[in-house]
Amino acid sequence: MFVKKIYPISTVLNWTRRYIYYFIVISLVPVLLYEFADWKWLHLPWRPIGLVGTALAFISGFKNNASYDRLWEARKIYGGIVNASRLLATMVNDFITNEHTSRNYTEEEFFDIKRRIIFRHIAWMTALRHALRTKKAWETTNSNKSDKEHMKEIHVKEYHLALNEELTGYLSKVEKETILNMTNKQTAALNLQSKHFKELKLNGLIDDFRHMEFKNIIGEFFTLQGKAERIKNFPYPRQFATLNLFFVWIFIFLLPFGLMHEFDQIGTSLINMDHKSNSFQFIAQNFVWFTIPFSIVISWIFMLIERVGDVSENPFEGMSNDVPITTISRGIEIDIREMIGENKKFIPASHPQHANTQM
């Protein structure tokens, strides 16, 4: 039986609790002035506020759709990396032979060649992961207190281990130094891979056609890398993101002024019903105080939509609902190392996929 996993409401409330404190104050102050200072003029007609809320719902929906498109495109990019990596391992298995060599290579030599190619590919994925985890000024975990606090509960491997440490064991000393000395380290890894394929061709281990196929797969990895870098380095346009946030706060500030008079009128109509119950009369006389919980709930809904859109804009940042690029990369590593016949006891185990971890 399929069971849909529900995101815990307690986690969402904890993540947005700072905003809830603001909503309590914003909704409480007008009601206090309305009731205790007897400022009965302190209200706004509900219709224009409702129009603002309707317009805001459309704008927020547009932003969230655009943010989700960025998140889904990032996931598709890593789906492409998964498929292309498996294809690379298949090509490494089938294309490198003694067919055109001047001497016969042993199975051990072939395995060493395959292992070098696969390990270099893992180094490329590792360098790409670290590049995508680099902090950008517009990312929410740099500025938003709630997101900073939430990130303390998430283990993001790239924030705890340096690239130099993660590359150890996958590259020779010379290759590792070459990559680390380059500005774009993932590009340097693919360049080394391309040079190795050229050496294989010159040594007769692959023919021209197979060399071209290896070059094509390198081109595919460059394409996927470029797409991921585009999402990472070009944010959701700031004018849309900023204006939407301003509109949300304007609506939240106006909301209690519109609800207050509406609830007061409902209370007056209840009093006129001449109900004999004392508790009923008490509720009717104080019905305006329902402005506070309703205002908080409506404000929270709109702000939650805004926040979900914010954190979805940057799918490689490391938040709990981002693309789990480290887990995916580890899965690829296991697959391709098994495909070339490496002993399983030397292959690292897969990471558990928790909703609250980016391992």
Q: Does 274 or 84 have the greater pLDDT score?
A: 84
Single pTM value for the model = 0.87
Q: What is the DSSP string of 21-83?
A: HHHHHHHHHHHHHHHTS--TT----HHHHHHHHHHHHHHHHHHHHHHHHHHHHHHHHHHHHHH
Backbone angles phi, psi at 156, to 5 degrees: -105, 115
Lowest mean pLDDT, pick from 34-43, 188-197, 255-264: 34-43
Share of the chain above pLDDT 70, in %: 94
Most confident of 39-53, 199-213, 272-286, 308-322: 199-213
Please report which helix (H) or strand (E) contains residue 302, including its range: helix 291-312
User: What is the maximal distance between C-alpha atoms in the chain?
Assistant: 106
pLDDT for the residue 11: 79
Q: State the virtual CA torsion across 133, 138, 140, 141 in degrees, nearest 10.
A: 50
Q: pLDDT tens across 56-80, in order? A: 999 888 889 999 999 999 999 999 9
- pLDDT value of residue 199: 95
Question: What one-character DSSP code corresponds to residue 134?
Answer: S
pLDDT of residue 137: 86
| 2: pLDDT strictly greater than 50 | no
The residue that leads in pLDDT, 34 or 337, is 337
> 5-26 pLDDT, tens per residue?
556 777 788 888 899 999 999 9
pLDDT of 355: 38
Q: What is the mean pLDDT of residues 148-158?
A: 85
Does residue 356 register a pLDDT over 60? no
What is the pLDDT, as a whole number, of residue 339?
Answer: 95
Is the pLDDT at 311 greater than 80, yes or no? Answer: yes
